[in-house]
A and B are shown apart, each in its own frame.
Chain A
């Protein structure tokens, strides 16, 4: 595919601050259910977040987002204060720490920041 047609991604390192430790599935759940509420269903397709890497010990993750929606994603994360599942209703803070262009650089930064 031509370089101009290919989707460009950014890898955002985020730190999860919550009372209970989260799993990768929890984070995916939050990104799929809480984020659209904050950024809006119309804006969500311009972000399309996916968890590229999750560190359960340090509670940090690398999330891949579309380049055009990276700023919206950071703003949306800042507005998420809690999440609800069938079993849980916890307060949460997802703090973006660093934005990288490659997953390799994002993982390097994740290891140096936490």
Chain B
């Protein structure tokens, strides 16, 4: 299985190759764009559930930074085969969000939605390998295999520019 990560900084300054972290490739937000404005063309739309509910069709992956779930959005996202992004760096910077992520994952898995995991790191010290992320997310109710699968989905859902 090939694993991919998405980071929010220039990776030309990285000291280690992506293989050191266990990834086949690390994408940046220049290659896989994230936007909070629905009128902008991008791969990932982030925002609150109400906004995503209006514009979810245009984007490949959806991201709710507050991890508040909407059952209506989940049902529609399931119909359209849309995936949801879970950012590991948010846990690093704010561990208290783990409770919300845990509930988000529980409901998303109930709806059989695909969860895409990415570090969205702002520097090289925030990149976490797949196994490290699995160790963290085991406290959110996921098994190692589920996390590994989530890390393999990024390229499948998004065609990088």
Query: Cβ of B133: which chain A residues have Cβ within 8 Å of it?
Result: 78
Q: Are B125 and A96 in contact (CB under 8 A)?
A: no
Beyond A18-B125, A81-B126, A91-B123, is A75–B92 a contact (Cβ under 8 Å)? no
Q: For residue B128, which residue of chain A has the nearest CB? A: A78
Mask of A69-110 contacts with B, CB within 8 angstroms, 1/0: 001001101110110000000011101100000000000000
What residues of B have a CB within 8 angstroms of the CB of A95 in the complex? 129, 132
- Tell whether, in the assembled complex, residue B135 and residue A75 are in contact, meaning their CB atoms are under 8 Å apart: yes
Task: Report the interface size for chain A: residues with CB under 8 A from the other chain.
Answer: 16
Docked CA distance A89–B95 (Å): 20
B121-151 CB contact bits vs A (8 Å, 1 = yes)? Answer: 0011111110111011011000000000000
Q: Which residues of A contact B125 (CB under 8 A)?
A: 17-18, 81-82, 91-93
Most chain A beta carbons < 10 A, residue from B95, B125, B127, B139: B125
B15 close to chain A: CB less than 8 A: yes
CB of B93 within 8 Å of the partner chain: yes
Residues of B within 8 A of A92 (CB): 125
Main secondary structure, interface of B, reads helix
What is the bound-complex CA distance between A75 and B124, given in angstroms?
18
B11-40: CB near A (< 8 Å → 1, else 0) gives: 000011000000000000000000000000
* In the complex, chain B residues 56-108 whose Cβ is within 8 Å of any chain A Cβ: 91-93, 95
- The reply to whether A71 and B135 contact each other, CB–CB distance below 8 Å, is yes
From residue B120, how far is it (CB to closest CB) to chain A in Å? 14
**Bound-state Cα–Cα, A71 to B132, Å:** 10
B119–chain A nearest beta-carbon distance, Å? 11
On chain B, the residues within 8 Å of A17 by CB distance are 15-16, 124-125
Give the distance to chain A from B74, nearest Cβ to Cβ, in Å.
28
Query: A75 to B123, Cβ gap below 8 A?
Result: no
- Are A96 and B93 closer than 8 Å at their CB atoms? no
When chains A and B are docked, how far (Å) is the Cα of A93 from the Cα of B132? 11
Tell me the B residues contacting A by CB distance below 8 Å: 15-16, 91-93, 95, 123-129, 131-133, 135-136, 138-139
Which chain A residues have a beta carbon within 8 Å of chain B's beta carbons? 17-18, 38, 71, 74-75, 77-79, 81-82, 91-93, 95-96
Closest 4 CB pairs of A and B: A78-B132, A91-B125, A75-B135, A93-B125
6 A-B pairs besides A75-B138, A78-B133, A78-B136 with CB distance below 8 A are: A17-B125, A71-B135, A74-B132, A91-B125, A93-B126, A95-B129
